[in-house]
């Protein structure tokens, strides 16, 4: 039986709940696949959302949100869109855990190929880019359809452990800062705050990028709306003060089982390990809420790896897949500079 690809009806509240149920049960589903998040991204990315869903008969076999960006009459397809700080998206397979390898691979291939056909029909992109989630470890349905695939990496830390055992798994150079003496403990304060913390972190990250001749492209308005309109706790801004002055902050997105580092934690202008203590507070708070994993990101950048590997996380692989005509090489190069 073939797989039918249809575009999801965003106006039907029952369908929206079903979409999010699919995301929760998929091995490739993430917070960024949920429908409220997709609509928020669509508004701030100046893109058009195509939420594809595939069926084998009456059984859903996967969801695949895709965004169209158009400039000068030339369209490109992305999942996730650029400049938004979203780490991954792509296809989220469904109901394949019971299948043997041959049938599971055939279903995934047909689902992805069906979505690619729909993308070509409805968008007609000259350039396409998809970053899969770590739950989707097979890029071949894309490479068999003229995409180039590159492995990418992230750090994932299991935090559903005893806090002391978790801390002992960290590097010695990190552990020594997590139990400050009485004098140091009086110097710092870490809190989860609101919109003013988001503005502080965004300003700090922007300045850090500018100092490196780079541009931080995530819109402040996107982060503020995420905090104000998504369900409580989806975006959590943590800030740390040293000697009464804000020194650093970290933004994390939170899904049902995973928190995702988003931004912050650059080098503060204080001689104090405030970022180590920020991460440790984020980890402990999330664990207390029943969160299982912390996606630390940063595993593709050598400079950042040196720091984040101190938490002894697992190295997880996802895939960047791209397809485009030669005239769109400039689009690809521009995107890579901006992301």
Give the pLDDT score at 171. Answer: 96
- Is residue 324 within 8 Å of residue 168, measured between CB atoms? no
Alpha-carbon 287 to chain mean position = 19
Give CATH superfamily name and number for 160-291.
Gcn5-related N-acetyltransferase (GNAT) (3.40.630.30)
- Is residue 249 within 8 Å of residue 278, measured between CB atoms? yes
Q: What topology does CATH give the domain 4-153+319-338?
A: Aminopeptidase (3.40.630)
pLDDT tens digit string along 228-266?
999 999 999 999 999 999 999 999 999 999 999 999 988
pLDDT tens digit string along 200-220?
999 999 999 999 999 999 999
Q: Are strands 293-295 and 258-264 parallel, antiparallel or unpaired?
A: parallel
CA distance 151 to 315: 12
Higher-pLDDT residue of 130, 182: 130
Residue 26: C-alpha distances to residues 134, 185, 286 (Å)? 12, 43, 22
CA distance 294 to 314: 10
User: If you average pLDDT over residues 298-318, what whole number do you get?
Assistant: 94
Q: What torsion do the CA atoms of 281, 284, 287, 291 make, to the nearest 10 degrees?
A: 20
CA distance 280 to 284: 6
Dihedrals phi, psi of 106, to nearest 5 degrees = -65, -40
Q: Do domains 4-153+319-338 and 160-291 have the same CATH topology?
A: yes
- Per-residue exposure over 170-206, b if at least 16 CB sit within 10 Å of its own CB, e if not: beeebeebeebeeeeeeebebeeeeeebbebbbebbb
- Using a 10 angstrom Cβ sphere, with 0-12 exposed, 13-18 middle and 19 or more buried, the burial of residue 90 is buried
Dihedrals phi, psi of 127, to nearest 5 degrees = -145, 140
pLDDT tens digit string along 148-161?
999 999 999 999 99
pLDDT tens digit string along 60-90?
999 999 999 998 888 999 999 999 999 999 9
Q: Residue 310 has what DSSP assignment? A: G
pTM: 0.92
CA distance 211 to 214: 7
Q: Which residue has the tokens 């009459």?
A: 73
pLDDT tens digit string along 266-287?
888 888 899 999 999 999 999 9
Q: What does the domain layout of the chain look like in residue ranges? A: 4-153+319-338, 160-291
Q: For residue 181, is pLDDT > 90?
A: no
Side-chain-side CA neighbours of residue 116 (13 Å): 21
Strand partners, 235: 253
Give the angle subtended at the CA of 96 by the CAs of 92 and 102, to the nearest 5°. 115
Q: For residue 97, is pLDDT > 80?
A: no
Q: Which residue has the tokens 């609101």?
A: 194
Q: What torsion do the CA atoms of 125, 131, 136, 141 make, to the nearest 10 degrees?
A: 30
- Is residue 130 within 8 Å of residue 90, measured between CB atoms? yes
- Helices 220-229, 35-45: axis angle to 10 degrees equals 150
């Amino acid at each position: 039986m073939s797989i039918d690809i249809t575009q999801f009806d965003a106006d039907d509240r029952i369908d929206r709940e079903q979409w999010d149920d699919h995301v929760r049960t998929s091995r490739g589903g993430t917070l960024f696949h949920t429908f409220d998040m997709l609509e928020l991204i669509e508004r701030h990315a100046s893109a058009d959302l195509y939420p594809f869903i595939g069926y084998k008969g009456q059984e859903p076999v996967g969801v695949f949100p895709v965004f169209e960006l158009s400039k000068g009459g030339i369209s490109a397809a992305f999942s996730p869109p650029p400049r938004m700080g979203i780490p991954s998206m792509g296809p989220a397979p469904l109901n394949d855990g019971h299948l043997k390898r041959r049938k599971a691979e055939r279903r995934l291939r047909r689902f992805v190929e069906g979505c690619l056909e729909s993308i070509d029909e409805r968008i007609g992109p000259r350039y396409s880019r998809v970053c899969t989630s770590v739950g989707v470890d097979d890029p071949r349905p894309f490479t068999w359809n003229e995409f180039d695939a590159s492995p990418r990496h992230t750090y994932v830390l299991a935090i559903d452990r005893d806090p002391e055992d978790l801390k002992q798994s960290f590097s010695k150079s990190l552990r020594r800062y997590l139990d400050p003496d009485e004098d140091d403990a009086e110097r710092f304060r870490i809190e989860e705050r609101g919109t003013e913390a988001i503005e502080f972190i965004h300003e700090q990250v922007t300045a850090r990028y500018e100092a490196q001749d780079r541009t931080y492209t995530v819109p402040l308005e996107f982060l503020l709306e995420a905090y104000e309109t998504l369900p409580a706790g989806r975006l959590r801004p943590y800030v740390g003060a040293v000697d009464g002055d804000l020194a650093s902050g970290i933004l994390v997105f939170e899904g049902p089982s995973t928190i995702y580092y988003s931004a912050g934690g650059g080098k503060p202008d204080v001689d104090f390990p405030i970022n180590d203590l920020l991460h440790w507070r984020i980890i402990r708070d999330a664990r207390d809420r029943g969160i299982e994993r912390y996606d630390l990101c940063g595993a593709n950048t050598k400079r950042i790896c040196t720091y984040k590997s101190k938490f002894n996380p697992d190295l997880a692989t996802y895939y960047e897949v791209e397809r485009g005509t030669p005239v769109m090489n400039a689009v690809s190069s521009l995107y890579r500079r901006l992301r």
